[in-house]
Chain A
Amino acid sequence: MHVIIARHYMQLALRNRSFVAFATILIGMTIASGVIGLLSHQTIISVYNITASELQASGKAIPPNPFASASSLSLIKNMMIYIPLVGALIAIIIGNDAVAADRSAGVAKILFSRPINRAVYVRGKLLAASGILGGVLGVCLLVSCISLAIIIGHTSSVAEYVALIIFYFASFMYLLFFVLVGMISAMLLSSRLVATLSAIGVWVMVTFILPQIVSGVSPVASLNPVSQAIAYQNSQFFQFTSWFSFMSFAESYKHIAGGLLGVSSSNLLDALRFAVPITAAITALYVLTVKAAGAMSTYEGGSYE
């Protein structure tokens, strides 16, 4: 049954213009990240070369090239920002629409008048949303590989391709959280605007507010793939708030993504710091979504704007 529900929504989603528009933006940004990465890289290497020759001419010591050992994947580092930015909005749209479409068409009431398990319904929707999300990220992965090979002209090693696949898998997990946020808000809230805005509110909380409270990262600094040093991070205030760092998914995602794309260093512990809380959050949200689906049997069809 959940396969039928999934197939039905997948067909509907591809007709959703908002989803198509945002998915196009994400794929476009994936292409752009390769071009931006290449231009920035060429410029900073030239900056280094000019600086080195000027220092040499004045008899000063030449500092080591900070990009000498950079991974080729670091050229597409902007993806670790575009996914939490554009990808998360796509995830919210998919999750929200999966439920809202049934509410506004009055399908929910008909569906739940039949002996359908709520968990089966949620699993069907989640399966469809995962398939769509997986498809979009799959296209992004393909575009990233083509960018690395053609635009940048770099032959990446097998290890780098494996890291890229893991990066997109971690991104998929991260976005699945927002799919569930979108679904649950559409189930619980009476207007589509409130549901969309509430889900976007959770996104703002996760992407900007929590990192600022936990680590003092300013909202705009959260959008830079290269983390800048933060003053007074050892103060009592941040020592206290760092206890809640497990809730700061955006930061742990950025950390692990930076490690995989060769922008910063991360280890197995960092991977666990991301994987365990996000899996726990997805599981908890799934359980809550199944419970919230119970309310759907009481919804009337008609305007859900």
Chain B
Amino acid sequence: MKAVPMNNIFTLARHEVITVLRSKILLALIAIFTLTTAISVLVASYVFKAQVADYNAYVQAAQAAGVARLPPSPLHPLQLLRGSIEYIEIVGTLIAIAIGYAGVVRERSSKTMRILMSRPISTWQIFSAKILGTVAMLTILIVSMNIVAYVSIGAVSGLWLQTVDLMRLGVASLAAIAFLTIFYCLGAAAAQLSKVPLRGFMVGIGFWLIIVMIAPQIGDTMDPDNQVPGGLFNALQVQKAQEKSILAHFAGYEAVRNGIEEISVEKHYERFVFAVTGIKDIYNGKTMGFIVKDRAGDLAWLVGGLGVASGVFLWSLRRKIIIERGG
């Protein structure tokens, strides 16, 4: 098998990153995204600060009353990232689609593809370079977001993230980069396949609306427990075990509801990352190995989604090159 010259790929990938960094639009978008995340973490940190104060007051009162064994703190700073994870789902995906679209528009206006085709570079190399460049950009984006989150949580709540938290944050970040790459591929493929790129962008927005907004929203609002503020089962004073036995009567309904949610790769990303960061309480204190094993299905969806989106993008790129060559 012929070896793929990595130099070509790196050069093209570097070009992708530099072009985006020179684009005022995309830089503005990235700045807005980081600011949004900062606001989200700051708001959560203020709430967390109040929770920490309440917990400390409880500990003092319990110690003064002579209570020897105190329950462990239920407060976990990584849970403050819930808002920023949700912004990755809502705003980050939009930005990824825009980056994909902008790349195609730039290529069409500067006719870069024709220049590339006049040189001994394969479609596979062009594709690899684009993915590599995008992953590099998304890494910059997610890392800057994490720095903002780290400083905000520590400075406002007074609790700094520990090494184990940072490792979990690293795993969540890898998942975020994979998740956003899916939307980059969709945005780029939609623009590539449309005669008018803006129409492709609107197709991307349509995908985003269905995958990110509508499918998870339907599943969420069909949840019986979400029908009453504070939860239906809470209102009916039903314990967790009894709740499960009641819901067993509605297995069909629950399967449809869950099925609608599971159509969306966004829900799988969310479930995996909520488990890793301990936002889903049952995963707090569990090892990473256990979490990955328990959420393997979600991880498989994420990897599968990335595979399908990359495949569509590669196909759109090949098709474009064939058309450019007059095929």
Contact = CB atoms under 8 A, between A and B. Distances in A.
Interface of A: 17-18, 21-22, 25, 29, 32, 36, 39-40, 43-44, 46-48, 50-51, 54, 63, 66-67, 77-78, 81, 85-86, 89, 93, 191-194, 196-197, 200-201, 204, 208-209, 212-213, 216, 218-220, 223-229, 231-232, 235, 237, 305
Contacts of A54: 242, 246
A229 B43 CA distance: 16
A124 to B, nearest CB: 24
Given A22-B206, A219-B86, A232-B50, A209 B221 contact: no
Contacts of B218: 32, 36, 78
Interface of A is mostly: helix
Interface string B270-283: 00000000000000
A24 to B, nearest CB: 10
Contact of A196 (B201, B221, B249): B201
Interface in B174-212: 197-199, 201-202, 205-206, 209-210
A193 B36 contact: no
A208 B216 CA distance: 16
10 contacts: A17-B199, A47-B236, A54-B242, A81-B221, A89-B205, A191-B25, A197-B25, A213-B39, A216-B47, A224-B226
Given A54-B246, A194-B25, A231-B47, A18 B39 contact: no
A246 B55 CA distance: 33
A73 B116 CA distance: 59
Contacts of A86: 209, 214
A66 B206 contact: no
Contacts of A44: 224, 227, 232
Contacts of B87: 208, 219
Which of B25, B86, B221, B226 has the most chain A CB atoms inside 10 A of its CB?
B221
B32 A201 contact: yes
Interface size range of chain B in the complex: 35 or more
A212 B217 contact: no
B222 A204 contact: no
Contacts of B230: 228-229
Nearest to A264: B229
B237 interface: yes
B232 A193 contact: no
Contacts of B226: 224, 226, 228
Contacts of B25: 191, 193-194, 197
B170 interface: no
Which of B25, B83, B250 has the most chain A CB atoms inside 10 A of its CB?
B83
A220 B242 CA distance: 27
Given A208-B90, A228-B229, 13 more contacts: A17-B199, A17-B202, A21-B202, A50-B246, A196-B198, A197-B25, A197-B94, A200-B205, A212-B39, A218-B82, A219-B90, A226-B221, A237-B46
